[in-house]
Structure 1
Amino acid sequence: MTVTTYPSGRTALLCIDPYNDFLAEGGKMWPALKEVATSVGLHTNLARIRATAHEAGMPIFILPHHRHHATDFEGWAHLTPSQAAAHEYQLFAEGTWGGEFYDGFGPETGDIVIKEHWGASSFANTDLDVQLRQHGITHVIFVGLIANTCIETSARQAAELGYHVTLVRDATAAMSADAMHAAHEINGPTYAHAILTTAEVVGFLGSETAA
């Protein structure tokens, strides 16, 4: 990988699916994510990297998953296994606590909320690409959930579209250590320009975005 730089005015933090169903005690997916999330210090690292981005004046984009309704997917021919499971559990259901943003990780003043994605990619059928380009963004740093699904799919597409892509090892989680290993040690190096820890990203942002 090449030397990492994060140019001021052209770098953005992209936070995927910061919902209660993923991040909160009592969330529908928290029991499956808790072990890995706790082991990497997910909540502390998400808070730290978001605070650093705000302090640096870096734009933060919130990339939310579709909030489910009981009638979703009626007539669909090809649901993915993930879509079928999410529909069965009514993950992030519209109008429920689980479908609300986790306290402190949702949009704040100046943050940009992208249209909800229906699958794993935050680019597919949303305004993410045009919003990034209209804001002059060339470098994207991905955090949030889940490392080997929405993070990986969105980050891969970002690389295909020509963005400089950074994954953050400990500002995401998955349902197993093996899934995290695959995301960061096997698949990530095939497309990401940098795979860093929160501490490393904070160090870069504190020095380079202020330049």
Structure 2
Amino acid sequence: MSELTYHRKSTALLFVDPYNDFLSEGGKIWPRVKEVAEEVGLIANLKAVDQAVRRAGIRVFIVPHRRWEPGDYECWCHPNPTQRAIMKRHSFARGEWGGDWHPDFAPKPGDIVVKEHWAQSGFANTDLDQQLRQHGITHVIVVGLLANTCIESTGRYAMELGFHVTLVRDATAAFSKEMMHAAHELNGPTYAHAITTTRELLACLPAEGVQIRS
């Protein structure tokens, strides 16, 4: 992966859905991702990526899912299967622990918290594209949950908009190994410019840079 180059001023980390419900013991969705997450070392790898990009002076964009509120999706004409499930289990409920940030991945000074996405793409009906372009970003590194839904949809949309897209196969998880395989071996190569491991990515990041402040 040595041919990859990430310049600190034009590269961004897109951290998708760093909620307790996804990443913490006791979270509503954690039991469904736990097996794959533990197999790939998800939490440790997310910490390593998050810390490394910050040391390099690369800006972090938090890309959060809609926090559930009473009435969400109930009167929609076409809620998708995930949205119907959210209506039942109240994933990422606003004002509750599950809808709060995982303590290790809460936004820090200088981070950009994007408007919440209602479905799977972090770009659709949000300000992510505008925020990236206003900050001069050309390359995005996409991590978080889930590999075959929000990560894939956000990464694919980024490619369509002209961004260079990197996926990090062990800094994400899914509900099954089959879903991970589809995300990285079947679908990822059709849109991502690079698919790396955490170790490979860290070797390509610039040396320690200036701390980004708001």
TM-score bracket for the superposition, by shorter chain length: over 0.9
Q: What's the secondary structure of 1:98's corresponding residue?
A: helix
Q: Distance in 2 between matches of 1:16 and 1:31?
A: 18
Identity %: 59
Cα shift at 1:39? 0.3
Cα shift at 1:111? 0.7
| Unaligned stretches of 5+ residues in structure 1 | none
CA contact 1:5–1:208 (8 Å) conserved in 2? no
1:197 matched to 2:197? The reply is yes
Q: Distance in 2 between matches of 1:83 and 1:5?
A: 38
Deviations 1:22-68 (A, max 9, x none): 00000000110000000000000000000001101100000000000
- Going from structure 1 to structure 2, the CA distance change for 1:149 and 1:108 (only over 3 Å counts) comes to same
Alignment match, 2:21: 21
TM (norm. structure 2) is 0.95
Q: What's the secondary structure of 2:14's corresponding residue?
A: strand
Cα shift at 1:3? 4.0
Q: What's the secondary structure of 2:205's corresponding residue?
A: helix
Alignment match, 2:118: 118
CA contact 1:68–1:93 (8 Å) conserved in 2? yes
Displaced runs of 4+ in structure 1, greater than 6 A? none
Q: What's the secondary structure of 1:172's corresponding residue?
A: strand
Deviations 1:147-179 (A, max 9, x none): 000000010000000000000000000000000
1:49 matched to 2:49? The reply is yes
Q: Distance in 1 between matches of 2:169 and 2:182?
A: 11
Cα shift at 1:188? 0.2
Q: Distance in 2 between matches of 1:62 and 1:194?
A: 21
1-10 vs 65-74, which deviates more?
1-10
| Unaligned stretches of 5+ residues in structure 2 | none
Q: Distance in 2 between matches of 1:47 and 1:2?
A: 22
Deviations 1:77-136 (A, max 9, x none): 011111111121100001100000001112011111000000000001100000000000
Alignment match, 1:176: 176
TM (norm. structure 1) is 0.96
Alignment match, 2:95: 95
Q: CA RMSD in A?
A: 1.6
1:152 matched to 2:162? The reply is no
Q: What's the secondary structure of 1:32's corresponding residue?
A: helix
Cα shift at 1:207? 4.9
Q: Distance in 1 between matches of 2:209 and 2:201?
A: 11
- Going from structure 1 to structure 2, the CA distance change for 1:79 and 1:2 (only over 3 Å counts) comes to farther
Q: Distance in 1 between matches of 2:15 and 2:144?
A: 5
